[in-house]
Structure 1
Amino acid sequence: MSGKSILAGLIGSGIQASLTPRMHEREGARQGLRYVYRLIDLKQLGLAVSDLPDLLAGAQRFGFNGLNITHPCKQAIIPLLDELSPEAAAIGAVNTVVLKDGRKTGHNTDWWGFAEGFRRGLPDADLRHVVQLGAGGAGAAVGYALLRLGVEHLSIFDVQMERAAELASRLNSLFGDGRATAVSTPDTAIPQAHGLVNTTPRGMADYPGLPVAAELLRPDLWVAEIVYFPIETALLRAARQRGCRTLDGGGMALFQAVGAFGLFTGMEPNADDMGADFKAMLG
Structure 2
Amino acid sequence: MLTLCGSLSLHPVPTGAAMHLAAYRALGLPFTYVPFAVTDLEGALRGMRALGIRGLGVSMPFKQQVLPLLDAVDPVAARIGAVNTLVNDGGRITGHNTDWMGAVQALEEITTLAGRRVLLLGAGGAARAVAFGLRERGAVVTLANRDRAKAERLAAEVDATPAGLDEETFRGDHAILVNATSRGMAGVAPGSPVPEGVLRPGQVVMDIVYKPLRTELFDAAQRAGATAIHGGRMLLYQAAAQFQLYTGRPAPLAAMDEALRTQLG
| TM-score exceeds 0.5 | yes
Structure 1 runs of 4+ off > 6 angstroms?
none
The alignment partner of 1:215 has SS state of coil
Q: Cα offset for 1:83?
A: 1.1
Is the deviation greater in 123-132 or in 216-225?
A: 123-132
- Structure 2 counterpart of 1:140, from 128, 133, 157: 128
- 1:125 to partner: Cα distance: 6.7
Q: Distance in 2 between matches of 1:145 and 1:235?
A: 22
- Residue 268 to residue 5, structure 1, CA distance change in 2 (3 Å): farther
Is the CA contact 1:116–1:255 (under 8 Å) kept in the aligned structure 2?
Answer: yes
- Does the 8 Å CA contact 1:203/1:234 hold for their aligned counterparts? yes
Unaligned runs of 5+ in 1: 173-179
1:236 aligns with 2:232: no
Q: Percent identity?
A: 37
Q: 1:265 aligns with which of 247, 250, 253?
A: 247
Q: CA deviation at 1:89?
A: 0.8
Partner of 1:187: 167
RMSD, matched Cα: 1.6
Question: 2: CA distance between counterparts of 1:13 and 1:135?
Answer: 20
Q: Is residue 200 from structure 1 mapped to residue 181 from structure 2 by the alignment?
A: yes
Q: Judge conservation of contact 2:67–2:95 (CA < 8 Å) in 1.
A: yes
Q: Give the drift of 1:130.
A: 1.3
What amino acid maps onto 1:185 in structure 2? L
Q: How far apart, CA to CA, are the structure 2 residues paired with 1:99 and 1:217? A: 44
- Tell me the distance in 2 between the aligned counterparts of 1:263 and 1:144: 20
Query: In 2, are the aligned partners of 1:132 and 1:154 still within 8 Å (CA)?
Result: yes
Q: How does 1:16-35 map to 2 (within 5 A)?
A: 16=13, 18-35=14-31
Over 3 Å counting, the alpha-carbon distance change for 1:126 and 1:105 in structure 2 is: closer
Aligned counterpart in structure 2 of residue 13 of structure 1, from 10, 14, 36: 10
Q: CA deviation at 1:277?
A: 2.2
Report the residue type matching 1:107 in the other structure.
Answer: H
Alpha-carbon distance between aligned partners in 2 of 1:130 and 1:268, rounded to the nearest angstrom: 30
Once the 2 structures are TM-superposed, how far is the Cα of residue 186 of structure 1 from its aligned partner?
4.0
Matched pairs, number: 263
Output the TM-score relative to the length of structure 1. 0.88
Deviation string, structure 1 residues 2-61 (Cα, Å, up to 9, x no partner):
xx5220111112223x4111111121122222222111123xxxx2xxx21111001110
Pair 105,124 (structure 1): closer, same or farther in 2 beyond 3 Å:
closer
The alpha-carbon deviation at position 260 of structure 1 amounts to: 0.6
* TM-score between both structures, scaled by the size of structure 2: 0.94
